[in-house]
Structure 1
Amino acid sequence: MAGRSTKPATIYDVAEAAGVSHQTVSRYLAGYEGIRPATRERVEHALHRLEYRPNLSARGLKLGRSHIIAALTHELGQVGPARVAEGAAAAAREAGYVLDLITLDVHNPRAIEESLRLLNQQTLAGVLALSSTDEMNRVFAGADFAVPLHVHSEPDDATGAHDTGLPTLIAHLAALGHRRIVHISGAGNWPASRNRSRAVAASAAAHGLEVVAEFQGDWSAASAHAALASLERLPAASAYVASNDQMALGAMLALKERGLRVPEDVSVAGIDDIPEAAFFDPPLTTLRVDFAARGRQIVADMLDKIGAPAPASPVVDVPTLQVRSSTAPPPD
């Protein structure tokens, strides 16, 4: 066929041609019987039309070894977990594995139990649990799998030593002359949120700043906006630090609605450096977190646990400060 690419088809090509997810294709190749007949027929047609040749996953299954890693997650709506999963999937592909992402509903224990039961019926190389909350940590702590399980969750570090990068951000505010700040924290059931709250408090104390108030959000812009908009009077502070960029966005709108200019009257900073952060009004000062590198490292740890060679893991850098125009010296 003229013009046809000589590059072998992947399961992602098959999935696109069949109009299904790549997870469905990987389950078909693994011999899973629970696929609907119409879906199975579309997958088989796509496999034939693209002349798909089994990759390491399929060959491994024939030899009694699987190259499929089930990745259990539950917060893909949040930027951090989603970008960690993307990095993990890329690292797995490079190592010849398929990362089968399965989203669990933390509020439905029966559905979680059923998902875990079905997983134990699959031929897998291992199970990777990407956990962000206390609830899911408890689920995975009690899970029993026939294959190696690797649970990744940010350690809940009560000592405040977990490296969040926040000392650099607080030092930046102190150097500008700020002395009183407000912190908007993330969801209380996330160890990452508690670590960031501790780091803000410890770093502020180290630099002679006072945290005059802390408001809890749920990582969304709406939660930060609501927390500030509902106040009869704003705290007497010259800078606001939000535990992620979305909440910084909500805080900026609430402050502007109260007649304050950012950064002329009050500075605002966030964490994560989402792609949109540089295009906020004004562009947001924030800490850049390399979530993709974290995801790659997690897969490297998983492959080490199952005794498989892993691609070279990138060094997970300390979060780096991105100074933009949302922070400035406090007004006289």
Structure 2
Amino acid sequence: MKAATIYDVARRAGVSHQTVTRYLQGFEGIRPSTRERVATALEELDYRPNSAARLLRTRQTNRIGVLADRIDESGPARILSGASQLAQERGYVLDIVVADGTSAASVAASLEMLTEHQVAGVLATAQTEIVFDALRAQKIPAPMLLESQFGLVEGQPSLSEVAGRVAADFLLDLGHRDIGYVSGSHIWLASEGRLKGFESRVKERGGRLVWVREGNWSPSSGADAWRSLSADERDITAVAAANDSMAMGFISAAHDDGVAVPADLSVLGNDDMAEAAYFLPALSTLQMDFEGEGRFVLDTLIREIEGLPPRENLLLGEPKVVIRASTAPVFRARNS
């Protein structure tokens, strides 16, 4: 069967071929109803951009190198998923190489592997300062984008900081004032941003951050955080964790010591992993638009590759709390 063209898509959607082209290029000024018709037509016709034709026209490869780290973790994996979806829609292929974010030598070796063949650009989704320092020192003969600290609005706090603030506001609004925090590893920029946002908002609103324990994103480190607490440190009403895995480990260890969640202690996670809804108790958590972030950062790089102006606004959903059974108002919890 002959591959569908933009003219076929335009006829199916009832729009001009110029509208289809603008949609594929990420143009924002298209009415929502028109965007929906075009998206439906693209899916129904299984449209694939003619990257070979573009390559001949521009003498440019359609391959984008991606330097990634910790793709076993929920956030980085979902960022890559969103980027991969957009790459397919825009006719690009992602070459993904994983680097150890704790080693500059590993980053250099992975980057050398990534650029052995011609790439149109390089996207670094790795999340540690070590990775970023190594990348900044490299001379890449192609556009390069370091994904990390995008804010919801230009010049405003990073997404990680916003997530920390939203988490703090949620627990404070429930009446909690003495709160603990389980952070991720300090070498991760997302971990540092979430802690910074959480700590500042608790202080701004008159709460007390009683303690901070550093984990490594794993459930076992969340359990270790609970076990490390003194009797006085356990006299709190709420805990926030920088990801769901650590929150689950924390709850499990607390349960082993006879602490009931949320009757004795409210626990809030971050990331909204698929497992969070099925944990006992079901975990309250922050939902992050990781897929949208992946699409945005790759779109930003593609626009630079194709000589298009950058977008004026960052169109990402603000982190929001998904309320489940692991959190409760402080007075109800303590009196239940």
Give the structure-2-normalised TM-score.
Answer: 0.76
2:224 aligned partner, one-letter code: A
CA contact (8 A) 1:56 1:67 kept: no
In 1, the alpha carbon distance for the partners of 2:87 and 2:128 equals 24
Aligned position for 1:89? 84
Shift of 1:140: 0.8
Q: Deviations over 1:81-130 (max 9, x none)?
A: 11001100111110111111111133555454333334333121111111
CA contact (8 A) 2:83 2:291 kept: yes
Q: Does 1:161 align with 2:177?
A: no
In 1, the alpha carbon distance for the partners of 2:235 and 2:202 equals 16
Q: SS state of the match for residue 138, structure 2?
A: coil
Aligned position for 2:208? 210
Q: Does 1:285 align with 2:280?
A: no
In 1, the alpha carbon distance for the partners of 2:174 and 2:70 equals 36
In 2, the alpha carbon distance for the partners of 1:71 and 1:87 equals 13
Aligned position for 2:325? 325
Aligned position for 2:69? 74
Shift of 1:235: 2.7
Aligned position for 1:35? none
CA-atom RMSD in angstroms? 2.8
Q: Deviations over 1:120-147 (max 9, x none)?
A: 3312111111120011011111111111
In 1, the alpha carbon distance for the partners of 2:199 and 2:314 equals 30
Q: 1:198 aligns with which of 191, 196, 199?
A: 196
Q: How does 1:167-316 map to 2 (within 5 A)?
A: 167-233=165-231, 234-307=233-306, 315-316=315-316
In 1, the alpha carbon distance for the partners of 2:102 and 2:173 equals 44
Q: SS state of the match for residue 276, structure 1?
A: helix
Aligned position for 2:15? none
Shift of 1:244: 0.9
Instruction: Provide structure 1 residue ranges, at least 5 long, that are not aligned to the other structure.
Output: 1-5, 9-53
Aligned position for 1:126? 121
Aligned positions, number: 281
Aligned position for 1:37? none
CA contact (8 A) 1:57 1:98 kept: no
Q: Deviations over 1:127-180 (max 9, x none)?
A: 111120011011111111111111112269xx9933523333323322322110
CA contact (8 A) 1:57 1:67 kept: yes
Aligned position for 2:44? none
Aligned position for 1:113? 108
2:119 aligned partner, one-letter code: L
CA contact (8 A) 2:223 2:253 kept: yes
In 2, the alpha carbon distance for the partners of 1:235 and 1:160 equals 35
In 1, the alpha carbon distance for the partners of 2:94 and 2:49 equals 14
In structure 2, do the counterparts of structure 1 residues 285 and 55 end up closer, same or farther at CA, with 3 Å as the change threshold?
closer
1:301 aligned partner, one-letter code: T
In 2, the alpha carbon distance for the partners of 1:222 and 1:188 equals 17
1:95 aligned partner, one-letter code: R
CA contact (8 A) 2:67 2:111 kept: no
In 2, the alpha carbon distance for the partners of 1:94 and 1:320 equals 28
In 2, the alpha carbon distance for the partners of 1:115 and 1:60 equals 28
Shift of 1:309: 6.3
Q: SS state of the match for residue 241, structure 1?
A: strand
In 1, the alpha carbon distance for the partners of 2:132 and 2:249 equals 29
In 2, the alpha carbon distance for the partners of 1:148 and 1:314 equals 20
Q: SS state of the match for residue 65, structure 1?
A: coil
Q: How does 1:53-72 map to 2 (within 5 A)?
A: 56-61=50-55, 64-72=59-67
In 1, the alpha carbon distance for the partners of 2:261 and 2:145 equals 44
In structure 2, do the counterparts of structure 1 residues 110 and 167 end up closer, same or farther at CA, with 3 Å as the change threshold?
closer
Identity %: 32
Shift of 1:205: 1.8
Greater displacement, 285-294 / 191-200? 191-200
Q: SS state of the match for residue 171, structure 2?
A: helix
